[in-house]
Chains A and B, each alone.
Chain A
């Protein structure tokens, strides 16, 4: 399975865009990029996923590089409620055993 690399932590100012990078240099052609987040003492929350095209939903945008070796999750207007650990994972269609790495601890500051 491809693995991902994320920065350990990052700070973001409230109201500004938060850009969270993820490296997945060994990703296979059939592996999707998924993002989840986990706010303290809560269950993981699905954010967005993509295969090769950029994706946007009500929570965030996902930008995947053309070679698919990295991606960026963009929270367009960070709020204090976006403070959480953000996990980037890669998985194939049939892979149902989710596994999170250390993720990026994002702290949104007023």
Chain B
């Protein structure tokens, strides 16, 4: 596709439920990133994928959060037993990740998650 796509665009769930957020990166981009942005806050890094591997999961807030990437393309961020503090916009970005060169990340439109 022309850009990074994410689905759903909005998700309302009840506390305690599991949710899955999907990201489709730009074709050919080997690196994929998940961030979240709470209301009025800046970007919070969650996890980084290079291909299907996640060399940096340091930003995942708790073990309720997990992510995977398959086929070097689509990624899914899963939040188990959602809590109200998980409410935020979850952003996905992708990049070419050319070694030794500054790498530009392109963002998707985000998924707005509301936990009631």
Interface residues of A (CB under 8 A from B): 32, 34, 41-46, 49, 51, 91-93, 96-102
Contact = CB atoms under 8 A, between A and B. Distances in A.
| Chain A binding surface, main DSSP class | loop
B15 to A, nearest CB: 24
Given A42-B109, A42-B110, A43-B91, A99 B43 contact: yes
Contacts of A44: 43, 91, 93, 107
Given A99-B42, A100-B43, A49 B105 contact: no
Interface of B: 4, 6, 31, 33, 35, 42-43, 45, 48, 56, 59, 91, 93, 95, 100-110, 112
A16 B14 CA distance: 47
A32 B59 CA distance: 23
Nearest to A45: B107
Given A32-B102, A43-B6, A91-B102, 15 more contacts: A42-B109, A42-B110, A43-B4, A43-B91, A43-B107, A46-B107, A92-B102, A93-B100, A96-B56, A96-B95, A96-B105, A97-B45, A98-B35, A98-B93, A98-B105
